[in-house]
């Protein structure tokens, strides 16, 4: 049984393709999602189906595997059963790969005002709020309130925050430049807030500096050492300073999937399962935990929560199961770090490949090639390449649709007083969410 068909779970299933086992892959979504490109959906550059694919389709040729849609609510290690939203299923071996979710560091009330980016729904909410903000600014007559709609705050300057900030700057400076009549979209302020002393904290210092320079060149306001103490419908508070903005995006914290708690084993501070070196759960050699949900060290260093680590761990857990079935011993996990890449915008990126580090166009091209290579499915690769070529040549973004999330209405509603009416017949028009 494999719970979760993200990078770790899917690769575990594929690795067991020719093993004499029957596999059940359970996921609460019907699709595998390529999270590294999610920010491009949020930034209206790609469509959801460009970066997601039905799990059933990916595994269609794997005869020893069935795929079930369902949310696992609890694991019962003693009874060797997994409880779902409906019913329960038993297992001999279990691989748990349910990943991570947002953490608002105990301030869950911020989530309403500052959506995080983890799922397709999150990306569509962000896309909607960003595009609607420009529409609302166009309707607004009061210059101060108008500017509030044109202020965008991103909390957290890790890879996701940096990518989003770069993309939002490009939307305002290039994509929308000529689309509005009353507002000048290039007046939009993209404000990136980071609590640590530099952007991209896990990267070497010189690359952080290079990333900061590239962000500033794109027009992003970068504030480091900026601890956010409050977020509401009017913006964010840093220390004693309030930054007004109608759009705030959360890219700051992650916490492990809550499913780990039901195992009753030691968890680290982020809620991840501290696994043995063979990736099994202490006291339960038949259960493996892999990907973002696992806390494991390799060569004395913590393995990072990134896609290549999840892929390698998923494959390794599967390998250990396959070996045990053939009465071979288990092997300890070792992470092969191939380096890190973060993109900032068109022809702007940083790459840390260990001994080699580079920035700018070459790093961006490397980022492009790697992301196309790891995208699942030929169709997606072609579509994404075409979309990228199109937006590179035209600076346009093909997915600029405002689609509905009615629960968002309250957050997006004008502050106290309704927006000033428009002077023409268009004043009767309402910004419709559907
Ligand atoms: C916006 C964003 C950008 C990123 N960019 C990069 C990048 O550029 N490079 C990089 O290396 N890494 C990046 N990462 C990190 C990378 O995506 C993760 O490290 C990786 O996805 C972890 O894989 P996983 O299999 O552990 O979890 P996931 O890929 O998150 O998969 C978990 C799966 O479990 C399912 N699931 C969860 N709970 C349940 C449940 N209770 N019942 C059933 N199913 C469940 C989910 O639906 C999902 O399919 C990014 C992450 C995000 C969010």
Q: Residues 103-126: pLDDT tens digits?
A: 999 999 999 999 999 999 999 999
Give 331-386 pLDDT, tens digit per residue: 999 999 989 999 999 889 999 988 899 999 999 999 999 999 888 888 889 999 99
Provide the pLDDT for residue 423.
42
Q: What is the DSSP letter of 214?
A: H
The reply to whether 205 belongs to the active site is no
Cα–Cα dist 252/367, whole Å: 22
**Beta-bridge mates of residue 15:** none
Cα–Cα dist 108/54, whole Å: 31
Ligand 1 contacts (CB < 6 A) are 3-9, 26-29, 35-36, 38-39, 71-72, 97-99, 117-118, 159-160, 257, 259, 291-293, 305-308, 310
- Edge-to-edge strand list for the sheet holding 189-193: 220-223, 189-193, 151-155, 247-250
**Cα–Cα nearest to 93, from 111, 107, 75:** 75
Q: Whole-prediction pTM value?
A: 0.92
**C-alpha separations of 307 from 9, 154, 310, 368 in Å:** 11, 23, 5, 16
Distance between Cα 36 and ligand 1 center (Å)? 9
Cα–Cα dist 370/354, whole Å: 16
pLDDT band of residue 406 (cuts 50, 70, 90) is low
Average pLDDT score over residue span 239-266: 94
**Cα–Cα nearest to 321, from 83, 92, 98, 4:** 92
Residue 34's Cα: distance from chain center in Å?
Answer: 9
Per annotation, catalytic residue among 140, 163, 313, 387: 163
State the Rg of the chain over Cα: 23
Q: Which two tokens stand for residue 114?
A: 């500052």
């Amino acid at each position: 049984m494999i719970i979760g068909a993200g990078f770790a779970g899917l690769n575990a299933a594929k690795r067991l393709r020719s093993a004499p086992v029957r596999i059940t892959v359970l996921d609460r979504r019907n699709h595998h999602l390529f999270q590294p490109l999610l920010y491009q959906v949020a930034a209206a550059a790609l469509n959801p189906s460009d970066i997601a694919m039905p799990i059933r389709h990916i595994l269609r040729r794997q005869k020893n595997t069935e795929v079930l849609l369902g949310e696992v609510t609890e694991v019962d290690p003693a009874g060797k059963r997994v409880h779902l939203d409906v019913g329960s299923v038993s297992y001999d071996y279990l691989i748990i790969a349910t990943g991570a979710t947002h953490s608002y560091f105990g301030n869950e009330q911020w989530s309403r005002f500052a959506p995080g980016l983890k799922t397709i729904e999150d990306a569509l909410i962000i896309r909607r709020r960003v595009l609607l903000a420009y529409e609302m600014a166009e309707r607004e007559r009061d210059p101060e309130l108008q500017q509030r709609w044109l202020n965008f705050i991103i909390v957290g300057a890790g890879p996701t925050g940096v990518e989003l900030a770069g993309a939002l700057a490009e939307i305002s400076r290039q994509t929308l430049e000529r689309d509005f009549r009353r507002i000048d979209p290039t007046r939009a302020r993209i404000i990136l807030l980071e609590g640590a002393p530099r952007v991209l904290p896990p990267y070497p210092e010189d690359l952080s500096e290079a990333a900061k320079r590239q962000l500033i060149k794109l027009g992003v306001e970068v504030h480091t050492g900026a601890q956010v103490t409050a977020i509401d419908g009017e913006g964010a508070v840093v220390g004693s300073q309030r930054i007004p903005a109608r759009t705030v995006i959360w890219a700051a914290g992650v916490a492990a999937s809550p499913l780990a708690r039901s195992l009753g084993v030691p968890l680290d501070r982020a809620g991840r399962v501290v696994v043995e070196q063979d990736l099994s759960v202490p006291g339960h050699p038949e259960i493996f935990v892999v990907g973002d949900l696992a806390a494991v060290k390799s060569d004395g260093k913590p393995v990072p929560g990134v896609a290549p680590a999840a892929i390698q761990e998923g494959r390794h857990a599967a390998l250990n199961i396959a070996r045990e079935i053939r009465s071979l011993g288990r092997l300890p996990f070792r992470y092969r770090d191939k380096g890190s890449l973060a993109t900032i915008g068109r022809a702007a990126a940083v790459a840390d490949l260990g001994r080699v580090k580079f920035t700018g166009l070459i790093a961006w091209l490397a980022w492009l090639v790697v992301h196309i290579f790891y995208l699942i499915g030929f169709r997606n690769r072609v579509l994404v390449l075409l979309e990228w070529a199109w937006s590179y040549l035209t600076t346009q973004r093909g997915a600029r649709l405002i689609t509905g999330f009615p629960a968002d209405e309250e957050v997006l509603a004008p502050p106290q007083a309704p927006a000033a009416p428009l002077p023409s017949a268009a004043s009767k028009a309402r910004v419709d969410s559907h």
